[in-house]
Chains A and B, each alone.
Chain A
Amino acid sequence: GSSDPLGGQDTASGSSSATGGTGGSGDALVIGSQQYYSNEIIAELYAQALEAEGYTVERDYQIGQREVYLPEVESGAIDVMPEYGGNLLQYYDAEATATSPEDIQAALTEVLPQGLRPLEPAEATDQDSYNVTRAFAEKHSLTSLADLKNVDEPLKVAANSEFETRPYGPAGLKEAYGVDVTVVPVEDSGGPLTVKALVDGDVQLADIYSADPSIAAEDLVTLEDPENLILPQNVTPIASEAVDEEAAAIIEKVNAKLTPEALIGLNRESVEKEASSEDIAQAWLAGQGLS
């Protein structure tokens, strides 16, 4: 809205290019990414795929928050931005009721501002998920969020502070499953600190993005969500009018190959092998025959 202090301003994109670029030619496509390594990898996939087809691409990665980059996308300073369906929809329409990927995609087409369109989403998702340690799951025989109401000890969940206010946060959990939890805010978006808090036993539950390789690495159990409390977050690029049909097709071709397992694999390259997004993208695209 217009009272949003972060919105409505033109942003000089002077702060661009983490891994090179073509130096701001008029027809270059500007690809942005969130300040999230996994998002940057996806952006890099699009960038390299486009470059392989002869497009000139400028990279503008590691942008803090939706409130910061979406206005830039709206203003045309950024042409392609990898997004996540559910959260993006809620950003534009807090009252949205869609829960399935298809409904979300349809709703997005409606709510996105003039000049922006969502491209075909990938199968890969990266959404909030409630996780417990294997030991804790076995002790209380947990497989689903519904099982939590049988746990007699107080439950603490490590998550970003905004989790407190999200529909799938404590209030939603209470409503859908009748479970009480308190939030321990850890501001690393389900990163290593959150995982560490869970593994160390400081908390019993942790909100971790589903594509995070640490779920597998730490042998965590992701609790199922039979009530569809959590919105699916399929990787959904949004594109400006500068993105022609040919370019869109290139991006969608990448998306078509981006399965949940593929995304986790990419993330693992980044976290475990500490590889740069550039190298990860290059290797993966080559493996998929996309470069």
Chain B
Amino acid sequence: MISYRSVTKRFADGTVAVQDFSLDVPRGTLTVLAGSSGCGKTTLMRMVNRMVDPSSGQVLVDGEDVAGRDPVALRRRIGYVMQNSGLLPHRTVAQNIATVPRLNGVDRRAARRRTGEMMELVGLDAKLADRYPAQLSGGQQQRVGVARGLAADPDILLMDEPFGAVDPLVRSELQRQLRQLHGQIGTTILFVTHDMDEALALGDQIVLLRAGADIAQQGTPREFVAEPANDFVRTFLGLDRGQRTLHRERAADGSIVVVDAHGRPAGVLAEPDGRPDDGAHPGAAADGGPRPGIQDAPGA
């Protein structure tokens, strides 16, 4: 559990990156901080592991103010995954993953074993262990980043736009894996993105921020789409440009294509059992369906 209590951050140059921000991140959830560039997402995230100290207010982890904790020790208990993976370029994959265990004094043998487990967990081929980051693809690097973040079995995992730099194909695969992983390990994850699609796909809870880390809306993905709190949220979701207001059209093969206001196809409408919708059962499976991962997804 992470709690922000009226946190403000004013940088030395006078920039107020975060103004009077309060939020609870419940234990075991995946909370997404979304918002466009410069709104203070990274600053908020870095307050948790004391890479940034708040100018006023408090950040609590499990009820205890982090200001009172030794930063180095604190950071070793909190995983951190960043954009472009932030891997140490002069360390092999295995050495990167083993960083925190090794810093914590775990012996070489045990660290190596842990590395193997972690690579398996994030779906990395064991053969890659002795490569250097530059010898990996972007997606592989991100996986190593996640593995490294998890290697010391942290209570909290901070992820700062971890998938921002990878191919969209790889990105959605990584997102899928992260959801699955989160279901498995139940670590509290704080995830930063400026991509609303990603936020909707991943978050148990989404916090959409304006400049200065001003909360525009906080809620589940579904609440965001169905009940955007204000115009800012609508704009950010693309609702005001009709991107998320969809129309049905019948395609040549008879299936129902759902298109947005620009005629851009969003997908094919299907019945809950996965067969294409013939248009005969409107309203089926309405009212707040099952959580992802619980329902057997069609085609998955």
In the complex, A touching B, CB below 8 Å? no
- Residues of B whose CB lies within 8 Å of any CB of A are none
- Residues of A whose CB lies within 8 Å of any CB of B are none
